[in-house]
Amino acid sequence: MSIRLENRRCLIVGGTSGIGLAAARRFLDEGARVVVAGLTAPPLDDGLNFLACDVTSETQVENIFAEAITNLGGLDVLFHVAGSSGRKHGDGPLHECTDLGWQGTLDANLKGVFLTNRAAVRHFLKQETGGAILNMSSVLAFSPAPRHFDTVAYAASKGGIIALSRQAAARYAADRIRINVLAPGLIDTPMAARAIGDPAIRAFLESKQPLGPGPGTPEDCADAAVFLCSDAARFITGVVLPIDGGWSVCEGRGANP
């Protein structure tokens, strides 16, 4: 078995459940040293050090970076997974999305990525050894399906993550800082429970994500994350990789009203 992340010092923000927790476990299997950050602690796992953090707080983000760098003796990889659907704040179709739904979703998703990526780049520049950043977007940023997934602030925030990541990838490539993006389709995680449990959406996924058919697993994303954070991807930056079971190339029955 290959050990693709041997001795890599990794911080996974949002690594306490779903895709982030699956990635943390895979990173450990691949030889990485891992610190996970999130709002609540993960299930007990050997080798997973936990730091509490609200990613919308600049102070808390700076604190977890300082603690992670101290614990790990430096940092090689940032994987930002943390995010929110925004529905609970009032996100929805453009004509129904509330001001709170808009701002709350952008803060949870786009502001959080801005804060962690800025901290990581500042450290990598100071460290002068390069580094890898992997951000989490969504297939909904570029392949909408409004009949079942009509949340304008969420789509905007995930599109913003792509733009931020590609801009930064171009700016810091000469410093050997690689910045890439995962864009999952519908993945079976706690955040997706509403959609996963909807019979109409399950039927839609049979043709929209036919490689499943149906929702993907957190491990599907974790495997891709290992690749993009490892030396196997040393010549790759600015890439947006769909992990979507065919979503972005398949029309899907019942896609339109």
Which of the residues are catalytic? 154
Show Cβ contacts of residue 193 under 8 Å, excluding neighbours closer than 6 positions.
none
Q: CA–CA separation, 133 vs 135, rounded Å?
A: 7
Give me the DSSP letters along 223-241. Answer: HHHHHHHSGGGTT--S-EE
Question: How do 77-80 and 48-52 pair as beta strands?
Answer: unpaired
Go through 142-158 and write b for each residue having 16 or more CB atoms within 10 A of its CB, e for each that does not. Answer: ebebeebbbbbbbbbbb
Torsion of CA 201, 216, 104, 158, to 10 degrees: -110
Q: What is the dihedral of CA 89, 91, 94, 98, to 10 degrees?
A: 0
